[in-house]
Amino acid sequence: METFMKLKQRMRLLKINRTRRKSSRSLAGNIFLGIFLSLIAILFIMPILIVVNNAFKPMNEMFMFPPKLFVLHPTLNNFFDLFEMASNTLVPFTRYVFNTVLTVFFGAVGHIVIASMCAFPLAKYKFPGSKFIMNMIIFSLMFSTAVTQVPNFIIISRLHLLNSYGAIIFPAFGYSLGLYLMKNFMEQIPDALLEAAKIDGSSAFDVLWQVVMPLVKPAWVTAFILVFQQLWTNTGSSYIYDESLKGVGYMLSQLASGGITSGVRSGLGVARAGVFSATSLLMFIVPVCVFFITQSNVISTMATSGMKE
């Protein structure tokens, strides 16, 4: 354990001494890139501004000429309408929230635990079949899900998972994108560090949990966001019939559409345009908050710091 502790200590020191490099940066370049970045940021934020503003617009402002980007007389009516509709649903609103939290929590945690156990050997060990498995995982990302829906449905029904949380949670475990992401980050961990842990007599399993996972925090935080996103928008409505097992995302999108399909598709349905904008903001703001909280916690980790051969 001694060698390993020493290395860890050295890494911590390096983390403190990390200084920003300056000499290869010219002032003109900084200014140019600063302007470039802010221009793009403005372009990107414009549509989002429209979404936010629309949610607070009264009906008459939504269809006015010339269209105004910013709301003139902000109102919360759209949200009141939405809450009124939400409180009249068959299943209480809190039940939808509970379902979402439950599936996201178990889906994401299960995925990270199971996928990291598979990603680590693929990244750092040579064994028969490793290349084949990796290729299969990459290729699986390229097959369109539109045609695998039918076989998927058959499999889920054969496993007696239809109409249960399992129909959503278990497929999330085997999400290949998260595994691929984590594997790529584990590849960058210097071998010296792993060797040190191995000399101390730790098995691959121990090395993974004690050494590797703390180092690849950005990777599994990103994997968490991916699973969250997947489960937030994809509510598995084809595998679940019971209203009491469905999530918030599904419920909100149903409320907004209210049977008027043109409304969902284009956001132009007049009757529920207000509720639709309020819902869009909610559907959007929740993942953004989750993303913001998780990203703020990922401060530069030192996956490779000072450890390169």
Partner 1 sequence: MLHRSGSFGAWFKLTIYQIKKHKLIYLMMAPFLIIFFIFTVLPVLQSIYYSFTDFNVLESPDWVGISNYKKLFLNDDIFKKAIQNTIMIAIFIGPLGYIFSYLLAWLINELPHKLGVLLTVIFYAPSMAGNLFYIFNLIFSSDSTGYLNGLLLKLGIIDEVVLWLQDENTMITIVIIVSLWMSLGVGFLSFIAGLKGVDPSQYEAGEIDGIKNRWQELWYITLPNMKPQLLFGAVMSITGSFSVGEVCNGLVGFPSPNYATHTIYNHLSDYGLIRMEMGYASAIAVVLFFLMIFANLLVQKFLRRVGT
Binding positions for partner 1, 204-233, rule CB under 8 A: 204-205, 208, 218-219, 222, 225-226, 229, 233
Smallest gap from Cβ 110 to partner 1, in A, equals: 9
Of positions 1, 40, 72, 270, contacts partner 1 by CB under 8 A: 40
Confirm or reject binding of residue 72 to partner 1 (CB under 8 A).
no
Smallest gap from Cβ 148 to partner 1, in A, equals: 4
Encoded tokens for 88: 């009249």
Smallest gap from Cβ 112 to partner 1, in A, equals: 11
The CB-side HSE value for 112 (13 A sphere, CA atoms) comes to: 21
Exposed e or buried b for every residue in 266-305, given b needs 16+ CB within 10 A?
Answer: eeebeebbbbbbbbbbbbeebeeebbeeeeeeeeebebeb
CB 264 within 8 A of CB 257: yes
3-state secondary structure 174-193: CCHHHHHHHHHHHCCCCHHH
Which of 31-39, 77-85, 95-103, 192-200 is the region at the interface with partner 1 (rule: CB under 8 A)? 31-39
Cβ-based nearer residue to partner 1, 92 or 105:
105
Q: How far is CA 258 from CA 88, 262, 309, in A?
A: 13, 10, 61
Ranges within 129-168 binding partner 1 (CB under 8 A): 133, 136-144, 146-152, 154-155, 159
Encoded tokens for 149: 């829906």
Smallest gap from Cβ 134 to partner 1, in A, equals: 11
Cβ-based nearer residue to partner 1, 51 or 85:
51
